[in-house]
Amino acid sequence: MDRKVRMGMVGGGEGGFIGPIHRMAAALDGEVALVAGCFSNNPERSRTSGEQLGLPADRVYSDYQQMMRTESARSCDERMEFVAVVTPNHWHLPVSVAALEAGFHVLSDKPAARTLEEVLELKKVVEASGRLYGLTHTYAAYPMVMQARDMVQSKVLGPVRRVSVAYAQGWLAQPDDTHNSKQAHWRTDPQRAGESGCFADIGTHAHHLVEYITGQWVTAICADLQTAVAGRLLDDDGTALFKLESGARGTLMASQVCGGEGNNLNISVHCELGSLFWEQENPNRLQVKRRGQADAVYRAGVDSAYLGEKVRARLRTPQGHPEGYIEAFANLYRDFAAMVRCKRHGRAIEGVHAVGDIAAGVRGMAFVRGAIQSSSQSAWVPLRPYWGQRG
């Protein structure tokens, strides 16, 4: 097997939530090695985080600019090959740009940037660099989501008629929650989070899931956003109607103020001949309903012969041995590592990958901007002017 793909990380130091998730996922299949990092904008915290991870002192950096300069000066066989960006939103653009301009591929948390203008700026840098850029829309990497995608896009259930997606969380349901954690503090701060709170944070996941499964882009939106908890400066709840390229209709709900909810993301895709239902909190099960037939339940497992070959390739255990969030995240890292290897050897990138690209990042922020505009005007807003045509 080709040698491991070498990863550097910006963000994700001690006390953070998503950094350890990324590192566990990257390590799961043994295809990615963490070789360098700037884990905090606090030099001491970055140093101690690097020590805890067992990195040599000269591969732990006090700021990301120093990391890009020093790593790019190392030999081809030693330097990091891509940078995982696991910071609050306001660092996504500058860190990604610095990495791309220094010659490194980038795998970033979503959203790609704080605003539509920032992500359009990033798109130009990505295209000029010739480097890979990926977004970690984790839910697209669940095997049963890929099974749903295959069934919908092969039209075995007929053309899509309607989609319903809902993402309910409850961790910001109380006023005190705003300042109870680092995660809540920056996600409710416009300077760090950007122009939207809930819709940028989790609404973009729901939006991406719709486009990934259906293979269609959202072309227009009519949204109602609100700040349910008094004193917050960004939306924490919202609902939207949307239209797909085929003319199919859909509804999308995203909320972080639903008391008692954990991470309740679910999607229904209704087609002419049947429907699909998947939920993230029970991810190894895909419910399929066909007109005039008994309901069917597809279950994840490498031995589930009725699943597509691409789907089984993203599973690691037999049916009845549940896989979940870490494994889905690991599928993203395995896909991105395969893409980096293709670049390493000058080969074309083939196959279907779950990693979002910069175009998906633009559409995600166009969705957020459209929702904000629609909510303020109480009107339908077309999204094509933001992202243009396919191609």
Asked if pLDDT for residue 151 goes beyond 90, the answer is: yes
Q: What pLDDT does residue 315 have?
A: 97
CA-to-CA separations, 16 to 20, 172, 196, in angstroms, rounded: 8, 18, 21
Tens digit of each residue's pLDDT (9 = 90 or more) over 258-314: 999 999 999 999 999 999 999 999 999 999 999 999 999 999 999 999 999 999 999
Q: What pLDDT does residue 174 have?
A: 96
Question: Could you tell me the domains of the chain?
Answer: 5-135 (3.40.50.720), 143-319+360-376 (3.30.360.10)
**Where does the pLDDT of residue 74 fall: very low under 50, low under 70, confident under 90, or very high at 90 and above?**
very high
Please report which helix (H) or strand (E) contains residue 41, including its range: none
* DSSP 8-state secondary structure symbol assigned to residue 389: S
Environment class of 331 (CB within 10 Å of its CB; exposed 0-12, middle 13-18, buried 19+): buried
Number of C-beta neighbours around residue 99 at 10 A: 30
Number of C-beta neighbours around residue 390 at 10 A: 7
Q: Which residues contact 322 (CB under 8 A, 6 or more apart)?
A: 284, 300
Asked if pLDDT for residue 60 goes beyond 70, the answer is: yes
The pLDDT of 165-186, averaged and rounded, is 94
The pLDDT of 138-146, averaged and rounded, is 97
Tens digit of each residue's pLDDT (9 = 90 or more) over 315-366: 999 999 999 999 999 999 999 999 999 999 999 887 778 999 999 999 999 9
- Report the C-alpha gap between 273 and 1 in whole angstroms: 44
- Report the C-alpha gap between 164 and 290 in whole angstroms: 17
Tens digit of each residue's pLDDT (9 = 90 or more) over 92-136: 999 999 999 999 999 999 999 999 999 999 999 999 999 999 999
Asked if pLDDT for residue 1 goes beyond 70, the answer is: no
Token pair 């005190």 is at which residue? 176
Instruction: State both tokens at 167.
Output: 């993402």
β-pairing, 160-168 with 105-108? unpaired
Strand order in the sheet with 133-135: 32-38, 5-11, 82-86, 105-108, 133-135
DSSP-derived 3-state class of residue 105: strand
Q: What pLDDT does residue 14 have?
A: 85
The pLDDT of 71-90, averaged and rounded, is 97
Q: What pLDDT does residue 254 have?
A: 98
Tens digit of each residue's pLDDT (9 = 90 or more) over 223-268: 999 999 999 999 999 999 999 999 999 999 999 999 999 999 999 9
User: Which of 5-22 are b and which e, b meaning 16 or more Cβ less than 10 Å from the residue's Cβ?
Assistant: bbbbbbbbbeebebbebb
- In sequence order, the β-bridge partners of residue 34 are 7
Q: What pLDDT does residue 279 have?
A: 98
Q: What pLDDT does residue 102 have?
A: 98
154-168, 224-238, 377-391: range with lowest mean pLDDT? 377-391
Q: What pLDDT does residue 391 have?
A: 59
Number of C-beta neighbours around residue 199 at 10 A: 33
The pLDDT of 149-176, averaged and rounded, is 97
**How high does pLDDT run on average in the chain?**
96
Q: Quick one: what percent of the chain has pLDDT higher than 90?
A: 93
- Report the C-alpha gap between 239 and 253 in whole angstroms: 4
- Report the C-alpha gap between 125 and 72 in whole angstroms: 18
- Report the C-alpha gap between 134 and 355 in whole angstroms: 6
